[in-house]
Amino acid sequence: MRKILLSGLAAIVVVAAASAQKPGYDPVKSPYGHGEDSVNCRLNLSLMQTSAKAEDYNGALKPWMSVYENCPASSKNIYIYGPRIFKTLYASETDAAKKKEYLDKVMEIYDTRIKYYGADDAKGSILAYKTYDYIELMGEQTDQAVVYNLLNEAIEDMKDQMNPLDAYSYFIVASLNEYLSDNSKKDRYISDYFKVAGYVDQAIVNARSANDEPNADYLAQVKEGIVKGFINSGAGDCKTLTEYYGDKVEPNKGDKGFLNEVLDALASIGCSDADLYFTAAEHLYLLEPSANAALGLANKNLRDKDYDTAVRYYGDAAKMETDKVKASDYVMQIAGIFSNQRNFARARQAAYDALEYNPSNGEAYILIAQLYASSAANIFPEREKAGLVYLAAVDKLQKARSVDPSVAGKANNLINSYSAAFMDTETAFMMGIKAGEAVTIPGWIGETTTVRLR
């Protein structure tokens, strides 16, 4: 107990004192100091590190004090162990004033780290970890404005290179909380949303280019959470966004980046049928044909029932899209148009084209299955053989759930439904058809499958 009290008193001295350096200290040429100072610095570094590695933070406190004040550029470990020491003191302290002093010291240590090691470690990363410690210590009393300001500076410093990755989420949550407590900050939250969403999108591209799929997948989850928060915030409805961007599109019709932002924003909350969306798409396509612009024009022509033009633009959007998953979805729009026109052969071909972009697109296989089922009554001259067509449909559904677990529920429901339409055993016997044998489905389907009976 006496040791803890003495350590606590020593810590108060540290907190109260400025991290002054000795006159003549040169952090670049002589980070350990000179002569006896250098010897003392190295000794205290060793003592600090030995105690800290053993998680004896009380024992690490005194030597830490010495190196922090006398040779602050001698080791990055000063700034790694420093916050741990004072967070430990904070956790065991009951006096509110002293806890505040320990908190302030933790914050100061990160600022000093930027001063001496800002060239080694990104400023944005240091600020992010400073924020995390602030949140940890403050708990429910966390001031969202403090979090916002720290992480805004961090993200502006690193943009799409932000590390740690979850700093994007912490920042946008702080921005959202600020808006929810003060509606005058709505425009700032909307602006923050698009800024951060853009950085995360580029960070995903960066990770995939580096074959870093774990981080790419994690960032995709971060983006999903950011979008859901935006949609549920009330700030991101169609009316609000069209009002927000309404008078900005014409003055910026020559700004490709801005027009892409408008299209992404409206599409992210399901406003891709808004007139403003189509206007921005038309301007963008005139400036430079792009996937975003082509998609906007495709949606416009679909709304206007100009299906041939819509098909052409969806195809153009897919060809220009760098994200293969999105490209596959665009081609599925073409498949849907042909399906609605009951042009089953062209719809199936479009679905297969979508699979060329994304082999894991289970919806493509489900659509093909539905096309087969829709034409089951018209394939064989004998209506009794319609059940054989459902065999080919179920084959596609089984393929769908094997390549895309997200559609398994939908596929299973259809499998249960279509299996009930299989040829029954008695009818198969009368027609000379046996379970397990191969059968070719004629007409536009033209596929071979294995007979199963009910």
Q: What is the DSSP string of 183-227?
A: GGGHHHHHHHHHHHHHHHHHHHHHHHHTT-HHHHHHHHHHHHHHH
pLDDT confidence of residue 176? 95
212 φ/ψ angles, rounded to the nearest 5 degrees: -100, 75
Tell me the CA distances in angstroms from 9 to 69, 124, 189, 234, one per residue in order.
Answer: 17, 33, 44, 50
Query: Do 336 and 342 form a contact (C-beta atoms < 8 A)?
Result: no
Q: Which residue do the tokens 């070719």 mark?
A: 440
The average confidence (pLDDT) of the chain is 90
pLDDT confidence of residue 232? 82
Spatial separation of the C-alpha atoms in residues 219 and 230, rounded to whole Å: 16
Longest dimension (CA), the chain: 105
At what angle are helices 144-158 and 123-138 packed, to 10 degrees? 160
Which SS3 state, helix, strand or coil, does residue 321 take?
Answer: coil
Share of the chain above pLDDT 70, in %: 95
Averaged pLDDT, 71-96: 94
pLDDT confidence of residue 269? 79
Residue 112: pLDDT over 50 = yes
pLDDT confidence of residue 372? 96
Residue 31 Cα to chain centre, angstroms: 41
40: Cα within 13 Å, side-chain hemisphere: 16
Spatial separation of the C-alpha atoms in residues 320 and 293, rounded to whole Å: 10
pLDDT confidence of residue 30? 82
Averaged pLDDT, 237-241: 83
Range in 254-258, 319-323, 446-450 with the lowest mean pLDDT: 254-258
Spatial separation of the C-alpha atoms in residues 327 and 317, rounded to whole Å: 7
pLDDT in tens, 356-403: 999 999 999 999 999 999 999 999 988 889 999 999 999 999 999 999
Provide the whole-model pTM. Answer: 0.58
440 φ/ψ angles, rounded to the nearest 5 degrees: -100, 130
Query: Can you say whether the dihedral through the CA atoms of 25, 26, 31, 32 is positive or negative?
Result: negative
Neighbour tally for 436: CB within 10 Å = 8
- Nearest CA-CA partner of 337 in 312, 374, 365: 312
Residue 274: pLDDT over 70 = yes
* Confidence category of residue 213, pLDDT binned at 50, 70, 90: very high
pLDDT confidence of residue 23? 64
| Gap between the terminal Cα atoms of the chain | 79
